[in-house]
Amino acid sequence: MREVAKTGVGSYARGNWGFMGQYRGSEMTLRIVGTGSRLAPGPNFDAGMVREALSPVLTLARQDTLSEEDLEQYPDLCLCRTAYCTDGAWLARLFAATDPTGETSSIRRQTMQMLTTAVEESPIRTVDGDLTAFVAYSPALLSHDRLADSAICRQWRGVVFRYESVNAWRSLWEALVDRIGQHATVTRQELRDWLADHVPAGTVADFQRNLPDTLDNLGQPAPAERTEEVLSAPQPLRCISILALGARRHGELTGQELLGFQGPAQNDVFEELAPMWMAHRLHSWADRPMRDFAADLVDVLINRSQRIALLKTRFDRRTGRVTIPTRVQVRDDLVYRLHTETALTASLRWWQLLRMGEQTGLFRRDPSLGTGAGEAATWRLGPRGDLLV
């Protein structure tokens, strides 16, 4: 145990206080500890519950060595058992925010109730597929009594549409960097021609008219981003289609949904690559060839990558070395790849929230509801799910 408690390279935790910052941050959010500079109990602190839960941990920590047999005597210390322990019930009430006392707890409760409605109304197996589709397109998000007055749920709908655009930009950049790597060194014009070859002939306006409808007959969001014609397209065309759909949604979303989509209005900020930027760009290029529009996007992305690399450049005074963190380099109109690029999906943090809810008994995963071999388990309400209903 003394070896585990050490800090520095090769140890479990490199900071002098281990993972104190991360744990304290979450407990401050739940108001278990105070928000001041000194560590102190918060309004939701329960001394009896904490002593009961952590007393066995302190007992084990006093020992210099621990055997497997020692640990087998304390099965309830496993996080997987929290849902069945008394402190799990206490934590479930805090997570569910049954008595919201501030903006943060109210946001958490509305979000948890949105997840609750999703698992009740639709088979939810994946976050980036099933859950995002429910929040973006399901009428239940607006019609269910539990969510009818929830501004946060409407903001989440806007966030999901923005999430689609963010992932599309990441995927398009990944495809562009991969294309550079296939040929070691390419010219800008070769990259322009490559992307232009992936889009249909005609004008930008023609391209937009041929995209799927983003609204249904009732004026509600239609699953345009999930249609077969979009998803089955080659990666570059799929990305540009989703970006154009996001630009269209910028003119359709209103109120809380628009707030979640674009964030608070900032009159002095015109964010490059944002849906509003894309909408203005599509409008200004409407009568020009779609091939030229795609070719110009190559310059936008490459130029942006170089600006960001310069912004992140660091000079080491000790070694005299300059580090420019970039995936690609541009020299005399030649572009070459230094590192590969992986388009990681943006995180909505819903998976983490579901997992914490699972540990406290608010949610559970039911493998018996899968319909195929190897299919992910379906999320359902857990034994303490009534706290969210």
Model confidence pLDDT, tens digit, residues 315-340: 999 999 988 888 899 998 899 998 88
Here the tokens at position 199 are: 């889009």
Of 314, 324, 280, 286, residue with least CA distance to 300: 280
Least confident piece of the model among 216-230, 264-278, 287-301: 264-278
Alpha-carbon span 328 to 324, nearest angstrom: 10
pLDDT of residue 1: 47
Helix and strand counts by DSSP (H, E) for the chain: 17, 7
E-state strands within 122-190: 185-187
User: What do you get for the CA distance between the two ends of the chain, in Å?
Assistant: 43
pTM of the model: 0.87
Instruction: List pLDDT tens digits, range 141-171.
Output: 888 999 988 999 999 999 999 999 999 999 9
How far from 387 is each of 27, 28, 89, 112, 383, CA to CA, in Å? Answer: 20, 21, 10, 10, 10
How far from 350 is each of 83, 160, 197, CA to CA, in Å? Answer: 19, 11, 37
Alpha-carbon span 235 to 172, nearest angstrom: 7
Alpha-carbon span 246 to 100, nearest angstrom: 34
